[in-house]
């Protein structure tokens, strides 16, 4: 199975540039390695990937141990913005970094749309 990193990167780049208030995005493996990323300068791809994987795996455990079911999404809301982790099938995790000004409904819609693009490439 050859995953096209170029296609993934292209999807991420157009997602980041075409959506207002989105600052960065990455697709990483569940064990924390980068597959593709379009991140703000100064942010280390490898580090971002490892953190995303750790967070999602913990979220998963909270979902099952505390009877919340399968996890769709994890939100980190800070006073400067959001970090949103979405499971992207078996083999990937999708991270989005957004500005505090982002409209949440719009953001979720955009994530959903991009997610299906990404999944198509990852299939």
Partner 1 sequence: MEIMRLVVTGPVGAGKSTFIRSVSEIEVVDTDRRATDEALLIKKRTTVAFDFGRLQFGPDMALHLYGTPGQSRFDFMWDILIQKAHAYILLVAAHRPHEFREARRIMMFMKQRSPVPMIIGLTHTDCPGAWDAANIALALGYPNPSRRPPVVTVNANETASVAQAVIALVQHTWSGSLAATS
The CA–CA distances, whole Å, from 47 to 21, 34, 43, 120 equal: 22, 9, 8, 26
Nearer to partner 1, 55 or 108 (CB): 55
Nearer to partner 1, 2 or 101 (CB): 2
Minimum distance from CB of 39 to partner 1 (Å)? Answer: 15
**Contact range with partner 1 by CB under 8 A, out of 3-11, 25-33, 78-86, 113-121:** 25-33
First CA to last CA across the chain, in angstroms? 9
Q: Report the candidate in 29, 15, 43 with the shortest Cα–Cα distance to residue 110.
A: 15
Q: Does the protein bind partner 1 through residue 3 (CB under 8 A)?
A: no
Site string for partner 1, 51-70 (x = CB under 8 A): x-xxx-xx-xx---x-----
Q: Does the protein bind partner 1 through residue 103 (CB under 8 A)?
A: no
Q: Does the protein bind partner 1 through residue 50 (CB under 8 A)?
A: yes
d(CA 22, CA 7): 19
Minimum distance from CB of 56 to partner 1 (Å)? Answer: 8
């Amino acid at each position: 199975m050859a995953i096209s990193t170029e296609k993934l990167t292209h999807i991420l780049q157009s997602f980041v540039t075409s959506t207002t208030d989105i600052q960065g995005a990455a697709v990483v493996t569940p064990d924390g390695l980068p597959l593709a990323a379009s991140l703000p300068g100064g942010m280390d791809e490898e580090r971002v990937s490892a953190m995303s994987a750790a967070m999602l795996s913990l979220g998963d455990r909270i979902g099952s141990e505390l009877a919340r079911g399968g996890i769709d999404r994890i939100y980190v809301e800070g006073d400067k913005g959001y970090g949103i982790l979405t499971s992207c099938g078996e083999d990937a995790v999708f991270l989005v970094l957004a500005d505090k000004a982002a409209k949440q409904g719009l953001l979720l819609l955009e994530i959903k749309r991009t997610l299906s693009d990404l999944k198509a490439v990852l299939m």
